[in-house]
Amino acid sequence: MHHTMRIVKLITAGLLACGSLTASIAIAQASLPGAQWPAYNNRLDGVRYSPLKEITPENASQLGEVCRVQIDGPTSFHAGLIVVDGVIYTNTGRETVALDATTCAIRWKHTYVPDEEIVSPSSRGLAVLDGRVFRGTGDARLIALDAATGRLLWKNVIGSPRLGESAGAAPLAWQGMVFMGIAGSEHGIRGRVMAYDAQTGRELWRFNTIPMGDEPGAETWLRPESAKTGGGGVWGAMTLDVTTGELFVPVGNPWPDLDRAYRPGTNLFTNSVVVLDARTGALKWWHQSVPADWQDFDLAAPPVLYRTADVRDYLVFAGKDGYVTAVDRDTRKVVFRTPVTRIENAPAGPTPEGVRICPGFAGGVEWNGPALDLLTGSLITGAVDICFIVKSGESKYAPSEASFGGTVEPDGPATGWVTAIDSVTGEVRWRYHAEKPVVAGVTPTAGGVTFTGDLAGNLLVFNSRTGALVHKVRVGGAMAGGVVTYEVAGKQYVAFAAGNISRNAFGDLGLPSVVIMTLNPERRAAGSSSSGAAANAPATGGTAGKANPANGRRLYEQVCIACHGPDGNMIADRRLGGLGARQDLASTIAYIKDPKPPMPKLYPDLLDEQHVLDVATFIHEELR
């Protein structure tokens, strides 16, 4: 009896030891370099590079889809992807999801219900730190979720939607702090960036990106009262130097966008990279790329920080002006400034008749900036090539209403570029002209390949050294968000955001989905799609029944608000406010089904009969 019990105990102990060993191996694998993608740009210093080597120029054509999962209905999907311990975290404006990084199985999903009317449906992403997920919302809240369950841990009101403020930036989390900005330049906000305690949500400090009174830079607003609505929103992502404790914040455009006479001066800190002490929020220094801007040449993409072989510390950033700029952090002088898209500016300013500018209001480099390829020493950047006709007009402030101080209209086709430049000299090494804009993340790897995608819905894989396109595949929706790579159980995967409807929808559309690929996939997760077709299926089916204005409001906030604004009047010659008094419901329904460019056609692929009826009814009954 005792002998038998001893054997049982030995077997049990052995099994426990094996289990512990298996768990230890799994943890060790997750800790290997490149196994995870823990931040928006992988590293806090913005060096968006992976040391993984399994996928190479020689075998990249063998990439195949493992699985995909739709995470929301029709809306924008600009967010980055975070990968921690075999779980992918990402989000849309309202949904936050945790997915198995090898099967697409949903671990949990959190749906945010706004407390107030949202200002923007877009979100650039989230942050994960110490078992918590942090993200902003369209009604200017910052929330923390349990990374294991999705349970809401805390919520903090950080802005006022009534003043046009939202929280669409991707937060950055570090050493018990969460850094977040306020967006909404087109609504005449006064921008700012704040730090919060990661455990409690308590505000630790704030820095106003539009200075007033005795704040440094206030003297650059020659009409001081214009600073109160001066813009300067933070709507992309930030970068951190952990060795110096410096936070690098890209700041958006001034308001009104077109009317410099309304806000004379150089308008600090708009269109600037502002460098703050991460622990106190104190201003250390700044670099302004475009003073007194009238072309919407703001900065959103997180900068890149690196040291050259001759021990020069570079700050590199790219903006909507279409340039990649390097600044020496010691001398604060520009080292190089290289165009990465077509540049045809009209420097004199807008006129009532209109002037043509390129890259224009939705061009240049958007929310994903340069990626430093440590293998080749190249900076690789995606960009938008588009021109606009800009006309001057009246500047009139109204709380939460968007205004440009004129009108803007696309002129000609929208295409894209991927450009590799020397990270020391700025000289162009290679270029690729994409059929549609490139706003997705760019990810070079130690395997010698660089991943990105375009708004035509193509995954693009390049030979990082030569720029040769080694693989191109349709993914079933515009690529406008994160493109990441990671390793699980010794196998390299690539995951990306596909499907997007927003003001940058110049190509394919699609419903927000996460797609996972690997070399020669052997199986697909149960219920996952084997092609891009499922990503373009309508969210619901059937013919229209009774109108549901509440659902119409949600659709308007998810699909329409980015272009038309909360009040429907953001586009001067396409005002939706009071539309019900100017035309009947049937005419509005007909136009939504068959719109004129640049409005995207969403029916019947992404919106069905009920969707169209609901949103048209909401516009007629609520936007008065």
Give the type of residue at 322: G
In the chain, what percentage of residues exceed pLDDT 70? 91
- CA angle, 239 as apex, 234 and 243 as ends, to 5°? 145
Q: Copy the structure tokens of residue 80.
A: 């980055």
**Residue 608, pLDDT above cutoff 60:** yes
Compute the distance between CA of residue 249 and CA of residue 229 in angstroms, rounded to an integer. 20
> What pLDDT is attached to residue 533?
36
**Residue 300, pLDDT above cutoff 90:** yes
- CA angle, 477 as apex, 169 and 139 as ends, to 5°? 25
**Residue 173, pLDDT above cutoff 80:** yes
List of E strands, 272-330:
272-277, 283-288, 304-307, 313-318, 323-328
**Residue 495, pLDDT above cutoff 90:** yes
> What pLDDT is attached to residue 527?
40
Q: Average pLDDT of 352-367?
A: 94
Compute the distance between CA of residue 482 and CA of residue 498 in angstroms, rounded to an integer. 9
pLDDT range class, residue 599, cuts 50, 70, 90: confident
Mean pLDDT rounded to a whole number for the chain: 90
Q: Copy the structure tokens of residue 332.
A: 């604060």
Quick check: 99 and 69 in contact, CB under 8 A? yes
Q: Copy the structure tokens of residue 123.
A: 């979100």
pLDDT in tens, 35-61: 999 999 999 999 999 999 999 999 999
Q: Average pLDDT of 357-386?
A: 96
Q: Copy the structure tokens of residue 135.
A: 């993200």
pLDDT range class, residue 505, cuts 50, 70, 90: low
Q: Copy the structure tokens of residue 479.
A: 């690529």
Q: Copy the structure tokens of residue 370.
A: 């340069």
Give the type of residue at 173: A
Q: Copy the structure tokens of residue 6.
A: 């001893």
Compute the distance between CA of residue 263 and CA of residue 359 in angstroms, rounded to an integer. 23
The yes/no answer on whether domain 549-622 falls in CATH 1.10.10.10 is: no
- The helix (run of H) or strand (run of E) holding residue 203 is strand 203-208
pLDDT range class, residue 555, cuts 50, 70, 90: confident
**Residue 534, pLDDT above cutoff 50:** no
**Residue 5, pLDDT above cutoff 50:** no
pLDDT range class, residue 347, cuts 50, 70, 90: confident
**Residue 572, pLDDT above cutoff 80:** no
Which range in 14-18, 538-542, 590-594 is most confidently predicted, on average pLDDT? 590-594
Give the type of residue at 589: I
Lowest mean pLDDT among 156-170, 433-447, 506-520: 506-520
How much is the pTM?
0.90
Q: Average pLDDT of 235-258?
A: 98
- CA angle, 231 as apex, 342 and 113 as ends, to 5°? 100
Give the type of residue at 421: I
* Extents of the domains making up the chain: 1-31, 32-536, 549-622
Q: Average pLDDT of 320-332?
A: 98
> What pLDDT is attached to residue 35?
94
- CATH superfamily assigned to domain 32-536: Quinoprotein alcohol dehydrogenase-like superfamily (2.140.10.10)
> What pLDDT is attached to residue 503?
65
pLDDT in tens, 6-34: 543 444 444 444 444 334 444 444 557 78
Beta bridge partners of 553: none
**Residue 367, pLDDT above cutoff 70:** yes
What separation in angstroms does the CA of 609 have from each of 92, 548, 584, 590? 24, 12, 17, 11
pLDDT in tens, 78-118: 999 999 999 999 999 999 999 999 999 999 999 999 999 99
- CA angle, 256 as apex, 250 and 257 as ends, to 5°? 60
Q: Which residue has the higher pLDDT, 506 or 327?
A: 327
| Rounded-to-5 percentages of helix, strand, coil across the chain | 15, 30, 50
Beta bridge partners of 415: 385
